[in-house]
Amino acid sequence: MTPTREEFLHFSTGEKALFYVLIALSLAVMAAQIRSRIQLWKTGRPLEPIPNTIRHWVGNLSRYVLGQKSVRASRPRSGAPMHLLIFYGFLALTIATTLLAINTYSPVKFHQGNYYLLFEFTFDTLGLLLLGGLGWAIIRQATTKAPIAKHWSDLGILVLLLLITFNGYLLEAGRIANNPQPWDSWSWVGYAMAKLLPAVSEPGYKALWWFHIVLVMAFFAVIPQLRIRHILLAIATTAQPPERPMGALRTIPMEEVEQTEQVGSKFAKDYSRWHLMSLDACMECGRCTEVCPAWNVGKVLNPKQVVQDARAAMASGEALAPRITEEALWQCTTCNACQEACPVLIRHVDLITDVRRNLVSEGELSGSAAVMLRQTASTKSAWGSPTREREKWMEGREIPLCRDGQPFEFLFWVGCAGATDPAGMKTTQAVADLLKKAGVSFACLGQEEACTGDPARRVGEEFLFQDRATENQSVFERYGVKKIVTACPHCFNSLKNEYGDFGAKLEVYHHTQLLQTLVSKGQLLAAKPDRRTVLHDPCYLTRVNGEVAAPRALVEGMVEPEFAGAKTRCCGAGGGRMWMDEPPEHRPATARMDQLRATGATQIAVACPFCRIMLDTGHQDDSIRLVDLAQLMQEANSDSAPSANMEVS
């Protein structure tokens, strides 16, 4: 006898027909609900163009769905192992059911012989992953507090899935007890259960079978209503997210404004179709909230809630603000920690800044951030400094200027903070000295430099940013700029990821990257500070642009704080927050300083002028020295040894 098993054991033709009708009905209920959500998504803007679609799909599906990249990267207490058990167990049983359906309903019959034995053993084993994960999840749901969502339906769906899985094994045990075969031990879980159970009659087996079908029908019918729908939607969102880099915001075409007569998103329908679909894919896991610097210092901004509020606005048609409170919208630092943590790749920063754009266009921004916008427009400096001030840091130094007409390889882009903030100027001077020492061919724009427009764009003043980008790009063209180095990660991000929309074709380097190259070539020495030094990674260098190694290559023996590299915690300056007032107890910089000081370091190395300003206001401890990596390099490469007590601030 060839090992196999009979499908629809003891079932009459009428019973089979009833089964097909009921399953078709439950699938129709599910399809109708999904269709109504698709209608909602279709109210959004068309998708942004996505090149290399197949490669893009396969890559993202492998990384984020099959590889569960974001879930695996979560901290263990976030329930990642539990989620992995459920995912891989569910995937295994879905594959098993699909193979069985192909065998049953296609002319190809392969569910027999050694294949059958291997199939039974493998999927009996893998089903236990699902049972274990579901049991874990049920206990966790019943015992854990926020940020896990708490709703009776979450527990309900877990119990339903547990019942389906357990009843599947019971059904197998019933079949083995009712119709034993010599190869049944390969279905080892059902086989063991059959040994423990009393004999199962034909009606008893059928009752188990129909119970299983009722549970499966209920599952199909409720999936679209509950957050478990992410098992379907995560596949769709992760397959085809906007191809823009994490740090790039969408450039709004002027034609769009003329057509819609508005800027940004007022209603959910103003988001793209992908963004609307992603709202439904949210699994309410709370990973985004757990890492949000604003939420972690007691502010109202809760990125998970932003997604839920936007989803509610999509369903009701009400305006996004105040459905998402304005207070929350302005508290975002655009640090992208939420986005980096999100398993279904939701782009919170897009969601938030697009509403900001609309609010700014309707005159809803006031206070110091509005002053910053006016300053940027009138003086071309976010700090409102006069143009002549941009060359102040050069005093006493011979700095080549583009207008001198000499050829150069790198444009050294100084940035508003690097040109006018006293501490930022020290970094700028250090970088210039190092470039000269290493013999790098460079020049600065001096008075011809202007703000990149990054703070304006992230606050929501899109067209001020576009003015800045267009004008700066024309300056780059005039001087034939091909390579840029800058000590500001915000300028770095904007020039690298956003200026392409304005015709720029630039190689852009953060100063740590260029200095790393110079160290590796032996043109400069890495620093060996005599103080215990901790590195604070800037969001826009490490998380947003993936540069983790370069800062670490410049200074030997630095210690790592809690939350380093791509998981770094924001200082609170991005997204225009630098220009917004907040009480000390609500400053992300205060919390970050506590994490940095917990390492026992007396020196904090930074790589961003914004971080430096914020961290400096986040502590009152004079024994802590704040210093840019470039300054440590400058000391290491100067002819005289630096003083151990050198004052830098």
Secondary structure letter of residue 267 according to DSSP: B
Task: Quote the tokens at residue 463.
Answer: 């067209």
Q: CA dist 328 to 77, 302, 333, Å?
A: 27, 7, 11
For residue 332, state whether it binds ligand SF4 (rule: CB under 6 A).
Answer: yes
Q: Parallel, antiparallel, or unpaired for β 410-413 and 442-443?
A: parallel
Total count of residues recorded for the chain? 649
By C-beta, is 335 or 481 nearer to ligand SF4?
335
For residue 96, state whether it binds ligand SF4 (rule: CB under 6 A).
Answer: no
Stretch that binds ligand SF4, among 41-49, 281-289, 390-398, 513-521 (CB under 6 A): 281-289
Residue 330 beta carbon to ligand SF4: minimum distance, rounded to whole angstroms: 10
Q: Is the peptide bond before 147 cis (omega within 30 degrees of 0)?
A: yes
Per CB under 6 A, the list member of 292, 329, 414, 425 interacting with ligand SF4 is 292
Contacts with 77 (C-beta within 8 Å, 6 or more apart), sequence order? none
By C-beta, is 200 or 329 nearer to ligand SF4?
329
Nearest of 575, 594, 599, 574 to residue 584 by alpha carbon: 594
Stretch that binds ligand SF4, among 192-200, 293-301, 488-496, 599-607 (CB under 6 A): 293-301
Contact predicate 288/338, CB 8 Å: yes
Per CB under 6 A, the list member of 86, 96, 223, 288 interacting with ligand SF4 is 288
For residue 80, state whether it binds ligand SF4 (rule: CB under 6 A).
Answer: no
Per CB under 6 A, the list member of 68, 103, 238, 333 interacting with ligand SF4 is 333
Torsion sign over Cα 260, 262, 263, 264: negative
Residues 342-381 that bind ligand SF4 (CB under 6 A): 342-344, 346, 348-349
Residue 68 beta carbon to ligand SF4: minimum distance, rounded to whole angstroms: 13
Report angle CA 175, 178, 182 to the nearest 5 degrees. Answer: 80
Per CB under 6 A, the list member of 68, 187, 265, 334 interacting with ligand SF4 is 334
Nearest of 318, 321, 340, 341 to residue 330 by alpha carbon: 321
Residue 280 beta carbon to ligand SF4: minimum distance, rounded to whole angstroms: 10
Stretch that binds ligand SF4, among 35-43, 337-345, 387-395, 515-523 (CB under 6 A): 337-345
Per CB under 6 A, the list member of 284, 309, 421, 537 interacting with ligand SF4 is 284
For residue 458, state whether it binds ligand SF4 (rule: CB under 6 A).
Answer: no
Q: Give the bridge partners for 508, in sequence order.
A: 484
Residue 574 beta carbon to ligand SF4: minimum distance, rounded to whole angstroms: 8
Sheet with strand 410-413: strands edge to edge: 442-443, 410-413, 483-486, 507-510
Give the other-Cβ count within 10 Å of 108's Cβ. Answer: 8
Residue where the block lists tokens 């998103």: 265
Supply the Cα-derived Rg of the chain in whole angstroms. Answer: 30
Residue 123 beta carbon to ligand SF4: minimum distance, rounded to whole angstroms: 29
By C-beta, is 403 or 567 nearer to ligand SF4?
567
Per CB under 6 A, the list member of 293, 418, 489, 609 interacting with ligand SF4 is 293
Can you tell me the distance from the alpha carbon of 516 to that of 465, in angstroms, rounded to the nearest whole number? 31
Can you tell me the distance from the alpha carbon of 95 to that of 411, in angstroms, rounded to the nearest whole number? 56
By C-beta, is 443 or 539 nearer to ligand SF4?
539
| x/- map, 387-426, ligand SF4, by CB under 6 A | ----------------------------------------
Stretch that binds ligand SF4, among 117-125, 236-244, 303-311, 594-602 (CB under 6 A): 303-311
| Residue 602, amino acid | T
Give the other-Cβ count within 10 Å of 18's Cβ. Answer: 14
By C-beta, is 131 or 282 nearer to ligand SF4?
282
Nearest of 368, 372, 370, 422 to residue 393 by alpha carbon: 422
Can you tell me the distance from the alpha carbon of 310 to that of 307, in angstroms, rounded to the nearest whole number? 5
By C-beta, is 131 or 292 nearer to ligand SF4?
292
Binding site for ligand SF4 (CB under 6 A): 282-288, 291-294, 301, 303-304, 307, 332-338, 341-344, 346, 348-349, 570
